A and B are shown apart, each in its own frame.
Chain A
Amino acid sequence: MLYIYLSTLDTDEEKDYFEELYLKYRQKMYGIAYSILHNEQDSEDAVHQAFLKMADNFSKILKIPRQELPAYIVIIIRNTSINIYNKNKKRSEHIVELRDDQPALDIDFFENIDYEQLTKVISQLPDNYKDVLYLRYVNDFSCKEIAKMLDISVDSVYKRIERAKSSLKEALEEGGFNE
């Protein structure tokens, strides 16, 4: 018999799912972290920090469909590792500032763009732009949630998203990114 339960979520089940994600992805996450940090201790720290962030956002992670989960895992571990790398090197993140007079670009701009052209320019974006756009518009996280996940300010998330959209718009108008 199928039962459609409209009950509250079972916390034991949540816990099991968290553990399942941990066991399933920890090696792959370590591999990504190590490819950035080249240090075992730092890579383990990155995996641990990434799971702490996932624990903080677990109610949202539960809503991520399976087909979108690999992207989320890659984004979270890659950005956590980059943050550790930058802290180790005492490098501050370089954020491209928007001009004060630059208005936010409504994503409806992309509604009537040729699909093939749009996917092509998206794939050519820098990783940090891809990550925030995916988290914001595919996973549906808020700027505040993304900021917490990526260890950057809400303002930086907003600016990065706007800069990413502006870059896409410019690339579409120019027929692609310059190689």
Chain B
Amino acid sequence: MSKNFRNALFDSLSPEYEEKLSAQTSEHSFSPEFEKKMEKLVKRRSKPYYKLINSFGKRVACVAATLLIASSVTILSVDAFRESFANMIVNVYEKFSAVSSEEPTNSPDTIEDIYEITYDLSDYTVNYEEYDEYSRNISYINNDISINFWQYTKKNLHINLNTEDAEISTVNIGEYEAMYYLDNHNYDHLIWDNGDYLILLSSNIGKDELISIAKTVKKVE
């Protein structure tokens, strides 16, 4: 497949879709009929799809096992890799990795402390912001360079990472060891657990610069 075409679609349309979504400020009170229908849908989700999910899971498990064996050089520092992701579960699949919490009992249930990038981003503008009880997301943009920051609570954490064709390794971010990979859109990604929250940074600014930015992420409130 043409990577040029795929990347062009992603780069030109993703901001447009994100802007469309973030512009919505509806506070609609849904009707009882709607709430009832949706409650049923959410409840019955597990049964009809169990077989599909189960067979899918087995398939990706086989692929993932092969990938891990093949990439033993990349993940040679298994002990360090494990050590750095206290309480994190990483499911590595063929085209993505799913990160979720293992033992979030000691971390805040909701966002209580605000973490932000304190690096000088005066040349950038904020083009997307989304906050809720469990996560914070800010995207900065300067021409073709974008920097995306996420702060997640570890409770109810379930994030999917695009690790298709990516080599996963670790880098040091101050006192923390972060998971690092370059995705197939040429975006570098850093994910680390700072004890209370999971921090995720992604950008096409370049690995070294992104690590410098990551080191400035601090609690600001």
Spell out A's residues near B (CB within 8 Å).
1-9, 11-20, 22, 24-32, 34, 40-41, 43-44, 47-48, 51-52, 55, 58-59, 62-68, 70-71, 73-75, 107-113, 115, 118-120, 122-123, 130, 133-134, 137-138, 140
Contact = CB atoms under 8 A, between A and B. Distances in A.
A65 B34 contact: no
Nearest to A25: B21
A17 to B, nearest CB: 5
Contacts of B68: 4, 6
Contact of B46 (A14, A59, A74, A130): A14
B49 A58 contact: yes
Interface of B: 1-14, 16-18, 20-22, 24-28, 30-31, 33-34, 37-38, 41-42, 45-46, 49-50, 52-54, 56-58, 61, 64-65, 68, 81-86, 88-93, 95-96, 98, 100, 102, 132, 148, 150, 156, 158-162, 183, 187, 202
Given A5-B89, A9-B57, A22 B38 contact: yes
15 contacts: A4-B68, A5-B90, A6-B64, A9-B57, A11-B46, A26-B38, A30-B24, A52-B41, A58-B53, A63-B93, A63-B95, A67-B162, A73-B17, A122-B8, A122-B12
B158 A107 contact: no
B10 to A, nearest CB: 5
Contact of B50 (A11, A24, A67, A73): A11
Given A32-B20, A133-B9, A44 B160 contact: no
A1 B24 contact: no
Given A65-B96, A70-B17, A28 B26 contact: yes
Given A6-B64, A24-B132, A51-B38, 14 more contacts: A1-B83, A2-B81, A7-B91, A8-B53, A8-B58, A15-B45, A22-B42, A25-B21, A30-B26, A70-B18, A70-B21, A74-B20, A112-B4, A138-B13
Main secondary structure of the interface of A (DSSP, over half): helix
A70 B9 CA distance: 14
B61 to A, nearest CB: 5
B139 to A, nearest CB: 9
B98 A62 contact: yes
